[in-house]
Structure 1
Amino acid sequence: MTDNTSSASEADDWAAALAEQTAASPEPAPAPAASQVFQQIQETASVAAGVTALDIARVMEVPVQLTAEIGRTRITIKNLLQLSQGSVVELDALAGQPLDVLINGYLIAQGEVVVVNEKYGIRLTDIITPSERMQKLAR
């Protein structure tokens, strides 16, 4: 099988999984039209900063680091050096607990691991709101 055929097959599998999830989830409340939201952002930015137009396309190309964290642990250097293939490291998370999704080190969502066509992915189950993020930083 060629790489193109394999990639198309994998894309179809992911699309089918997404369609299945969408069909199973209730319809979300309709969001305001994107043009209205961007127009509000542009108006706010131009009033606040004296900018004539906000180029949102520049922001869309900024690379970020996405990390999926299953759990954490602290071990001594002695124990770290004793690790080998097949070693088990105990984490602070319980089996079946949602994993944390971080962008540039900041928690933005929680999710669960999914497998489609022998590849791993993350299904986001809870998006952390900006106010929740601020409360966690204040602790």
Structure 2
Amino acid sequence: MSDDIDNKSGDEMDDWEAALAEQAATEGGVHTPELDELSDSSDRPKEETGKLDAILDIPVTISMEVGRSQISIRNLLQLNQGSVVELERIAGEPLDVLVNGTLIAHGEVVVVNDKFGIRLTDVISQIERIRKLR
């Protein structure tokens, strides 16, 4: 197939063939950049630490997701007090902890001074969070 693409002039190629030809030309030449390891702030110069301090007071929303479910609008309109909606999550499974909608950890519900809280049981690594962005 690549011979067919090579034999055609650029004017004869449709967009799809041109994209395939470009992909074939760049395969093997893909470069994955190396990421620097994050280090303790004590290793950083004061000017870098000052830059980081500028964002430390920005508020973010942290939420805990018990589970999800998809239902039709018909069933949604039939819900009333006492209705039960079945969630995808199995009882006893760790709950998701989200920051601004991004999964950062898993945890379990605890009660502290008559208020609900969450005990983190597994924090998602920075590398995993970056992979999920792709």
Please tell me the TM-score bracket, short chain as reference: 0.5 to 0.7
Aligned partner letter, 2:91: A
Offset of residue 43 of structure 1: 6.8
> Does 2:130 correspond to 1:134?
yes
The 4+ residue runs of structure 1 with deviation greater than 3 A are 39-45
Which protein, 1 or 2, shows the higher relative CO under an 8 Å CA cutoff with sep ≥ 6? Answer: 1
Report the 3-state secondary structure (helix = DSSP H, G, I; strand = E; otherwise coil) of the residue aligned with 1:54: helix
Report the 3-state secondary structure (helix = DSSP H, G, I; strand = E; otherwise coil) of the residue aligned with 1:83: coil
Q: Distance in 2 between matches of 1:136 and 1:54?
A: 29
How many residues are treated as equivalent by the alignment? 96
**Deviations, residues 69-123 of structure 1 (Å, cap 9, x unaligned):** 0111111111111111111001000000000000011100000001133321100
Q: Distance in 2 between matches of 1:116 and 1:37?
A: 31
1:63 counterpart residue number: 59
Q: Note the aligned Cα RMSD (angstroms).
A: 2.2
1:78 counterpart residue number: 74
**Deviations, residues 37-94 of structure 1 (Å, cap 9, x unaligned):** 324344795xxxxxxx733332121010111001111111111111111110010000
TM-score, normalisation: structure 2:
0.63
For structure 2, the residue ranges without an aligned partner over 5 or more in a row are: 1-38
For structure 1, the residue ranges without an aligned partner over 5 or more in a row are: 1-35, 46-52
Choose 1 or 2 for highest CA Rg.
2
Which structure features the higher share of helix residues?
Answer: 1
> How do 1:4-19 residues align onto structure 2 when only pairs under 5 Å count?
none
TM-score, normalisation: structure 1:
0.61
Q: Percent of counterpart pairs with the same letter?
A: 52
